[in-house]
């Protein structure tokens, strides 16, 4: 059985991102359980849609100030917009860091250790991805990523990128790595795509993300250490 392409719609992504609860209206808040990605600029969170969110309450551990980019879940409490900016006060309920990996011209000279992209979506001018790979609990291995552009977008062709994963020697099939010691691990990454589309007019965004994953036989058994290229596709209709 080979890896199958998955088509994700923006509706499905919004419904399954981090929490099962959707954004709902509540008399005490403007919006509850909003899920959004954005960057941290001088201690403030700015969403990919250009809204400034100021954290005035927090129910989770950690600090956004230590990050460059994050995926958050929050309650929007108050509109504090002015003539200069659209801003809101929020209660921060959950967040995860989002990496900004290096971009490379080709994947051929990069590590292609197994990794899977099970979710991908566009927000603002970013292509965001959720990565799943196997790692040992409390591992010291340094899993790193790079992203190669396989095909630039054009009016009649999608943007295609390849995830390059360096598992630092820790992956199923590597010498000395036992399956029982590994568990599924999740990371989030984003790549900016504005420069790829800024000179195009009247277009929709179609994308495909390629990734190397374990190859299986007809019975679904893993053929170690072989891998094959899987992919996930999506679109944003403008």
pLDDT in tens, 195-218: 999 998 878 899 999 999 989 888
Q: Indicate the pLDDT class of residue 163, thresholds 50, 70 and 90.
A: very high
Which domain-ending residue is among 97, 125, 145?
Answer: 97
Please check whether residue 10 lies inside any domain of the structure. Answer: no
Domain count, the chain: 2
Predicted structure pTM score: 0.84
Tell me which H or E stretch contains 197. Answer: helix 194-197
pLDDT in tens, 37-71: 999 999 999 999 999 999 999 999 999 999 999 99
What local confidence, expressed as pLDDT, does residue 224 receive? 82
d(CA 28, CA 44): 23
Q: Indicate the pLDDT class of residue 28, thresholds 50, 70 and 90.
A: low
Torsion sign over Cα 215, 106, 209, 160: negative
Q: How many CB atoms lie within 10 A of CB 22?
A: 12
pLDDT in tens, 117-162: 999 999 999 999 999 998 888 788 999 999 999 999 998 899 999 9
Alpha carbon of residue 151 to chain centroid: 20
β partners of residue 159? 207
Please check whether residue 9 lies inside any domain of the structure. Answer: no
Please check whether residue 1 lies inside any domain of the structure. Answer: no
d(CA 101, CA 187): 12
Is residue 131 domain-shared with residue 208, that is, in the same domain?
yes
């Amino acid at each position: 059985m080979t890896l199958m392409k998955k088509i994700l719609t923006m509706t499905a992504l919004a419904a399954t991102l981090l929490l099962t609860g959707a954004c709902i209206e509540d008399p005490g808040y403007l919006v509850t359980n909003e899920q959004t990605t954005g960057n941290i600029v001088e201690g403030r969170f700015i969403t990919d849609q250009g809204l400034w969110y100021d954290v005035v309450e927090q129910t989770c551990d950690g600090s956004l100030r230590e990050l460059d980019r994050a995926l958050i879940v929050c309650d929007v409490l108050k509109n504090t917009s002015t003539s200069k900016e659209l801003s809101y006060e929020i209660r921060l309920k959950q967040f995860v860091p989002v990496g900004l990996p290096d971009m490379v011209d080709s994947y051929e000279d990069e590590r292609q250790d197994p990794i899977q992209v099970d979710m991908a979506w566009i927000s603002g001018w970013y292509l965001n991805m959720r990565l799943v790979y196997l790692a040992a609990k409390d591992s010291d291995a340094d899993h790193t990523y790079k992203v190669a552009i396989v095909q630039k977008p054009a009016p009649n062709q999608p943007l295609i990128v390849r995830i390059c994963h360096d598992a630092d020697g820790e992956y199923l099939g590597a010498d000395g790595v036992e399956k029982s010691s590994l568990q599924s691990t999740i990371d989030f990454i984003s790549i900016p795509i504005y420069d790829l589309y800024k000179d195009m007019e009247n277009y929709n965004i179609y994308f495909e993300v390629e990734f190397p994953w374990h190859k299986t036989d007809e019975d679904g058994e893993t053929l170690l250490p072989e891998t094959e290229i899987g992919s996930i596709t999506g679109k944003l209709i403008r």
